[in-house]
């Protein structure tokens, strides 16, 4: 029954051999890896303006474009750096692998934790931003924003549990469509502006007077805008997915992707600046721009909004594809629960998918679907993984000293310095609004992962055996205890069973509230004429369970080093779940409690009603 | 640790012998049994007016007192009837016992279900009415009304779990204090009115025009007021608690209690009428009267409110004393889960107390602490138990025909007619506003209790054995299956164990994804030189658990009628609860799944990390 419901929702169980991967060329590689990076365009510019406008008012637009330019410059540097990672790690060089390889266990774990957090936030932020695109188009839905974000996450989880084939076409078509609609938006917007078809209203914004130096405001805005860079590292993780020449194709995709991000981000930012868009809580900046260019309610307006939701959904989907893989890798190294290694019935890492679903959903609910509150947590985590990745590459070149290592080390060294500076800016500017949560979470995750690793190491050492013959020994008979309440069929079945197996000594043990009842039972048992001793305890505290456990504990204490004791537990089995409540779960609880005695074995004899 | 926390909150475990009951004389008997009945005064009058005023406006007061008089007349009849129950059932004659004895199983269950519902509602209604008394005095607390009601219930639950000694003094002093404050209120109010110290404001109330006949309005008001009669039957349940002459004392207490209810109810109602009190949502009628008589904010005002909360708390406490006892009685008859029979560490029926807590708390939360919504559910249930009790008594006299049986039968016959008429009125008038819930719940409970009874009967018949020797048989050896993943310490311990016990055949069973791994394991096992066969299955669907279960099922199918199979389950035991998550709970799950095979025994060998 359970299996049938599962099959209905997820499809049939797949054979191991059905695990197949498609190899990508440049054309289809771009959309697969670019959705995360390109989708950031839909919120990054808005984040910058949200910092600038309350302080600078209409003067913000003068600072806006230089900040965008700085971020695009940063993007160029990262592209150069990651080209080198692609070269050095043809099997895929995520921050966890690069940091672990070159910097050691703890930096590796920090990078891993930052990545895990980053992927979770990718899903939460993308879902919320997607919901924002919906509510911008349909303001009546505003109070359901968190619900819409959750619905997107549920849909993604279901799709991924079913095992969405990540076909290149499925990703490619919508991504290219998004790029095209954005280019159309930019082109139309520029033409309308230049032909004078649109005159922005004069913006009169009440600014808050502040003592903050202008530099700080600009740094805060820059830190907010750095969310545009999330997802840049994706290509370097996925080198093995490309058709040969793998590394060359990967580099081309990286460059093309960066170009698209650059064009769209710059174009949209210029338009926002020209059209004097003022972001507000209810309508996103892109939606306002969209309405200004195409006219709210026009077909093209809705097309842009729809494509924004789609690209954000695809961005979240990359996290669904990558996080479970990363967690399986880390679980394989012993840092995460082992259940993350196993593939589910549809060959995906179902436990990782469910983990991602749970954490992202909690974030969306806790932050009530507000991406503006989630984004400060996001950028700091991403830049920690960037920094460790760069530092790892620098160390890599310094150690292996291949052809042209000085040049390569210089590039990654530069990358290290730049990402370190940016990270410092982000943490400094965003500390109170969220970066502290990121840092604390990463630290806690690292401690947890080290603990998990220690536990698994201890277990594996404990189970390890050099010479099995040393442990195997000659058979030795032992004593059995059979608790008895009354002479009924269940007890008699257990008694038959204990005699079948043949113990050297059988003890029938009884707990009662009155001596008298024990005496009656003794007479009954004597008439059965079996080779067994009868032992009983009297309690007036109605704590049969405790008395039995104390008896077992005492017997356990009396055991010699290589002796053992078997407790026979007759167990009433009721098949209807609701009827189970009508019987005390004492037997079940006792069996669990007896686990803790090393030399007490429990023999469970079912009696089906 | 768990035991220590329990001891801290509940006190030490008590010996069976510490169960002691105090015997009551008339003076202290009144408060113990009267709190429930007397406390109804604090809401019954208000309920009547809440029906009358929206329809009749200022004319309501003319109909109010006649309705109160009718209810007091009804009270007198019930007192006469219950005096006879006291006489016939010296061991205590609750509606369940009387109906079960005289009318048979199903009427008994209906009465029992009505009583269970009645007790739950006593707690919920009293807690809400107590909270209303608090919020009337402190209107700022109005939005916390449900929380205050819940807090009262939590307090009562805790006290009763600890095993409140129901000392007569603890009940007596507050009850007499309540009676005194109410008498003071009535006396002061009458004097102030007669000396002209108070002139009621003219009441101008907007009435809703309605097509309802006046008779219906009055009947609805009467039905609402019948909640004043809840708790009248309490004395007849508790006859054994009195000092000899038990029945005489019980009758005296019943009479005295009824007199107090009569005086206070009548007095308060007259005052409400004279002072033209108009109940509203925020302040109870009694609180308004209290403020009018003593002046809001005066010490006496607060005294009346405090005593009202106290008496309502005591009323709820009687349900905590009586419902678990009733449920233990019914569980003993097999109609309720058996766990309700056992006394907890403090000698109280802790499971019953927790049940009452849970259900009353749910009601308070669901109805947001509004007693006006709960009361329509209350009266219909109470009158069902009254009716069945009277009908049972009538049948009793008709059957046993003792001295003066005609006279006695006539009284209970009259009681039956009157309660039947009232029940019809209540159900008719309150059907849509709640009585349908009561009727449905009672019906559902009866069906459930019959199902429980059937289940226990089936189990007991199944376990029943006439001649144990027929079932005992000569020992017969069987086969053991030991699942193996790799040769580690846990497996070797289980292997030692299976050889200690001596089975006729040992099978080592392995599930793997590749033939190759099975072959390696076979070589390893062969080198151990043990008498065992090695069997393996290959699966490419990553469903080891299912494959193992299918193997066991197949082996089980091959068993002859008297043969058995033992599955040895090595079980990794991790003591830290948080570390348990790091290991798949496969073993645990498999053991539970194997329960369903009648002849498969499970032998659990713990391996402690």
pLDDT tens profile A101-114 = 999 999 999 999 99
Query: Does the pLDDT value for residue B21 go beyond 90?
Result: no
Q: Check CB contact under 8 Å for A500 and B464.
A: no
Residues 26 through 55 of chain A touching chain B, CB cutoff 8 Å: none
Return the structure tokens found at A138: 């349909």
Q: Check CB contact under 8 Å for B584 and A488.
A: no
Query: Does the pLDDT value for residue A208 go beyond 80?
Result: no
**Which pLDDT does position B551 carry in this prediction?**
95
Verify cis geometry, omega within 30 degrees of 0, for the bond prior to B245.
yes
- DSSP class of residue B433 equals I
B/e letters for B502-529, b = 16+ CB within 10 Å, e = fewer, are ebeebbbbbbbeeeeebeebeeebeeee
Least confidently predicted of A52-66, A587-601, B161-175, B471-485: B161-175
| A165 confidence band (pLDDT: 50, 70, 90) | low
- Spatial neighbors of B168 by CB under 8 A, at least 6 apart, are B22, B24, B28, B29, B31, B32
Q: Enumerate the residues of chain A whose CB falls inside 8 A of the CB of residue B459.
A: 572, 574, 583, 609
CB neighbour class for B213 (10 Å; exposed up to 12, middle 13-18, buried from 19)? exposed
The residue of chain A with its CA nearest to that of B16 is A540
**Which pLDDT does position A113 carry in this prediction?**
96
Query: Does the pLDDT value for residue A516 go beyond 70?
Result: yes
Return the structure tokens found at A49: 């303006």
Determine the residue among B330, B349, B549, B602 to mutate to test chain A binding: the one whose Cβ has the most chain A Cβ atoms within 10 Å: B602
Between CA B106 and CA B388 the distance in angstroms is 11
- Spatial neighbors of A281 by CB under 8 A, at least 6 apart, are none
Spatial strand order of the sheet with A533-538 comes to A533-538, A505-512, A479-483, A565-573, A600-608, B600-608, B565-573, B479-483, B505-512, B533-538
A564: left (phi over 0), alpha (psi -120 to 50) or beta: beta
Residues 60 through 89 of chain B touching chain A, CB cutoff 8 Å: none
Q: With pLDDT > 90 as the criterion, what percentage of chain B qualifies?
A: 55
Query: Does the pLDDT value for residue B170 go beyond 80?
Result: no
**Which pLDDT does position B209 carry in this prediction?**
66
Between CA B302 and CA B187 the distance in angstroms is 17
Query: Pairing mode, if any, of strands B600-608 and A600-608?
Result: antiparallel
Give the C-alpha distances (Å, rounded to integers) separating A11 from A154, A160, A345, B541: 17, 12, 9, 13
| B167 confidence band (pLDDT: 50, 70, 90) | low
**Which pLDDT does position A204 carry in this prediction?**
66
Average pLDDT taken over every residue of chain A = 89
Q: B597 in contact with A at a CB cutoff of 8 Å? A: yes
**Which pLDDT does position A159 carry in this prediction?**
87
Query: Does the pLDDT value for residue A167 go beyond 70?
Result: no
Average pLDDT taken over every residue of chain B = 89
The residue of chain B with its CA nearest to that of A469 is B528
Report, as an integer, the average pLDDT of A470-491: 86
Return the structure tokens found at B225: 């007021």
**Which pLDDT does position B369 carry in this prediction?**
92
- Spatial neighbors of A195 by CB under 8 A, at least 6 apart, are none
Residues 552 through 581 of chain B touching chain A, CB cutoff 8 Å: 564, 566, 571-575, 579, 581
The residue of chain A with its CA nearest to that of B594 is A606
Query: Does the pLDDT value for residue B223 go beyond 80?
Result: yes
Query: Does the pLDDT value for residue B272 go beyond 70?
Result: yes
From the list A496, A542, A564, the residue facing B16 with the nearest CB is: A542
The residue of chain A with its CA nearest to that of B471 is A492
| B476 confidence band (pLDDT: 50, 70, 90) | confident
Q: Enumerate the residues of chain A whose CB falls inside 8 A of the CB of residue B547.
A: none
**Which pLDDT does position B172 carry in this prediction?**
84
Query: Does the pLDDT value for residue B206 go beyond 70?
Result: no
| A202 confidence band (pLDDT: 50, 70, 90) | low
- DSSP class of residue B435 equals I
Between CA A424 and CA B61 the distance in angstroms is 78
DSSP A407-474: HHHHHHHHHHHHHHHHHHHHHHHHIIIIIHHHHHHHHHHHHHHHHHHHHHHHHHHHH--S-HHHH---
Query: Among residues B591, B177, B520, which one has the least CA distance to residue A606?
Result: B591
Q: Enumerate the residues of chain B whose CB falls inside 8 A of the CB of residue A477.
A: 500-502
Q: Enumerate the residues of chain B whose CB falls inside 8 A of the CB of residue A609.
A: 458-459, 462
CA atoms within 13 A on the CB side of B21: 10
SS3 B353: helix
Q: Check CB contact under 8 Å for A489 and B462.
A: yes
Q: What spatial distance separates the first Cα and last Cα of chain A, rounded to whole Å? A: 22
CB A248 within 8 A of CB A29: no
Return the structure tokens found at A546: 């405790």
- DSSP class of residue B431 equals I
CB B122 within 8 A of CB B232: no
Query: Residue with structure tokens 């389950």?
Result: B569
From the list B17, B452, B605, the residue facing A601 with the nearest CB is: B605
Q: Where are the beta strands (DSSP E) in B187-314?
A: none
Residues 523 through 542 of chain A touching chain B, CB cutoff 8 Å: 524, 527-528, 530, 540-542
SS3 content of chain A, % helix, strand, coil (to 5): 70, 5, 25
Query: Does the pLDDT value for residue B160 go beyond 90?
Result: no
Between CA B104 and CA B112 the distance in angstroms is 12
- Spatial neighbors of B17 by CB under 8 A, at least 6 apart, are A540
Q: Check CB contact under 8 Å for B488 and A477.
A: no
For residue range B105-146, list pLDDT tens digits in order: 999 999 999 999 999 999 999 999 999 999 999 999 998 999
From the list B339, B465, B596, the residue facing A487 with the nearest CB is: B465
Between CA B306 and CA B287 the distance in angstroms is 11
**Which pLDDT does position A343 carry in this prediction?**
87
**Which pLDDT does position B423 carry in this prediction?**
95
Least confidently predicted of A368-372, B6-10, B355-359: B6-10
For residue range A280-293, list pLDDT tens digits in order: 888 999 999 999 99
Query: Among residues B605, B83, B81, which one has the least CA distance to residue B388?
Result: B81
Q: Check CB contact under 8 Å for A16 and B541.
A: yes
- Please determine, for the modelled complex, whether the ipTM score is greater than 0.90: no
DSSP B126-170: HHHHHHHHHHHH-GGGGGGHHHHHHHHHHHHHHHHHHT----HHH
From the list B455, B476, B540, the residue facing A500 with the nearest CB is: B476
pTM for this entry: 0.81
Q: Go through chain A and tell me how many residues it has.
A: 609
Query: Does the pLDDT value for residue B19 go beyond 80?
Result: no
**Which pLDDT does position A28 carry in this prediction?**
85
Between CA A221 and CA A62 the distance in angstroms is 13
Q: Check CB contact under 8 Å for A609 and B582.
A: no
Q: Check CB contact under 8 Å for A496 and B473.
A: yes
Residues 443 through 502 of chain B touching chain A, CB cutoff 8 Å: 452, 455-456, 458-459, 462-465, 468-469, 471-473, 475-478, 487-490, 492-493, 495-497, 499-502
Q: With pLDDT > 70 as the criterion, what percentage of chain B qualifies?
A: 97
SS3 A386: helix
Measured in angstroms, the CA of A491 and the nearest CA of chain B are apart by: 9
Query: Does the pLDDT value for residue B457 go beyond 70?
Result: yes
Neighbours of A420 (CB within 10 A): 15
From the list A462, A488, A591, the residue facing B489 with the nearest CB is: A462
Q: Check CB contact under 8 Å for A501 and B591.
A: no
Q: With pLDDT > 70 as the criterion, what percentage of chain A qualifies?
A: 97
**Which pLDDT does position A358 carry in this prediction?**
96
Measured in angstroms, the CA of B150 and the nearest CA of chain A are apart by: 27
Query: Does the pLDDT value for residue A203 go beyond 80?
Result: no
Report, as an integer, the average pLDDT of B76-101: 90
Between CA A559 and CA A567 the distance in angstroms is 14
Query: Does the pLDDT value for residue B165 go beyond 80?
Result: no
Residues 257 through 286 of chain B touching chain A, CB cutoff 8 Å: none
Query: Does the pLDDT value for residue B18 go beyond 80?
Result: no
DSSP A286-350: HHHHHHHHH-TTSHHHHHHHHHHHHHHHHHHHHHHHHHHHHHHHHHHTTSS-GGGTS--TTSS-H
């Amino acid at each position: 029954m359970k299996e049938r419901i599962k099959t209905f929702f997820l499809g049939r169980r797949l054979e191991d051999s059905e695990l197949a991967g498609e190899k990508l060329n440049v054309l289809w590689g771009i959309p697969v890896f670019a959705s995360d990076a390109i989708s950031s365009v839909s919120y990054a510019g808005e984040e910058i303006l949200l910092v600038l406008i309350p302080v600078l008012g209409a003067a913000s637009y003068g600072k806006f474009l230089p900040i965008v330019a700085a971020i695009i410059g940063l993007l160029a540097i990262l592209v150069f750096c990651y080209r080198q990672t692609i070269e050095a790690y043809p099997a895929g060089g995520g921050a966890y692998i690069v940091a672990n390889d070159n910097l050691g266990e703890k930096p590796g774990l920090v990078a891993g934790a930052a990545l895990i957090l980053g992927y979770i936030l990718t899903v939460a932020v993308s879902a919320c931003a997607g919901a924002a695109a919906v509510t911008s188009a349909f303001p009546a839905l505003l109070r359901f924003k968190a619900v819409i974000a959750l619905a997107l996450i549920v849909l993604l989880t279901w799709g991924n549990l079913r095992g969405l084939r990540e076909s290149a076409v499925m990703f490619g078509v919508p991504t290219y469509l998004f790029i095209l609609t954005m280019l159309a938006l930019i082109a139309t917007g520029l033409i309308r502006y230049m032909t004078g078809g649109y005159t922005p209203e004069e913006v009169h914004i009440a600014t808050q007077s502040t003592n903050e130096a202008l530099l700080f405001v600009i740094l805060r805005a820059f830190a907010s805008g750095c969310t545009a860079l999330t997802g840049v590292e994706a290509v370097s993780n996925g080198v093995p997915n490309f058709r040969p020449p793998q590394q060359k194709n990967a580099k081309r995709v990286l460059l093309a992707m960066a170009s698209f991000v650059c064009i769209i981000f710059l174009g949209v930012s210029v338009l926002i600046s020209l059209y004097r868009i003022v972001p507000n809580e209810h309508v996103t900046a892109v939606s306002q721009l969209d309405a200004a260019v195409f006219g709210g309610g026009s077909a093209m307006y809705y097309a842009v909004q729809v494509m924004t939701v789609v690209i954000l959904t695809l961005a979240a989907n990359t996290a669904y594809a990558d996080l479970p893989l990363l967690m399986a890798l880390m679980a394989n190294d012993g840092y995460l629960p082992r259940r993350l290694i196993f593939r589910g019935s549809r060959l995906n890492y179902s436990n990782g998918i469910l983990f991602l679903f749970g954490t992202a959903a909690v974030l969306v609910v806790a932050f009530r679907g507000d991406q503006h509150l989630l984004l400060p947590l996001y950028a700091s985590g991403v830049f920690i993984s960037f920094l460790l990745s760069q530092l790892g590459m620098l160390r890599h070149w310094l150690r292996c000293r291949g052809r042209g290592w000085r040049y390569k080390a210089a590039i990654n060294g530069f990358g290290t310095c730049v990402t370190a500076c940016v990270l410092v800016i982000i943490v400094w500017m965003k500390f109170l609004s969220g970066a502290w949560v990121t840092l604390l979470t990463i630290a806690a995750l690292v401690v947890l992962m080290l603990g998990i690793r220690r536990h698994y190491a201890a277990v594996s050492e404990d189970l390890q055996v050099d010479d099995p013959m040393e442990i195997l020994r000659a058979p030795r008979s032992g004593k059995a205890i059979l608790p008895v309440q009354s002479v009924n069929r269940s007890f008699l079945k257990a008694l038959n069973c204990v005699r079948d197996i043949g113990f050297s000594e059988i003890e029938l043990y009884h707990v009662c509230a009155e001596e008298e009842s024990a005496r009656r039972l003794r007479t009954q048992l004597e008439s059965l004429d079996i080779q067994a001793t009868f032992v009983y305890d009297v309690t007036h505290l109605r704590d049969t369970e405790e008395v039995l456990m104390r008896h077992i504990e005492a017997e356990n204490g009396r055991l010699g080093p290589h002796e053992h004791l078997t407790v026979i537990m007759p167990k009433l089995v009721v098949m209807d779940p609701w009827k189970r409540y009508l019987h005390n779960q004492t037997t079940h609880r006792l069996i669990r409690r007896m686990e803790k005695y090393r030399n007490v074995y429990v023999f469970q004899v079912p009696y089906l009603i």
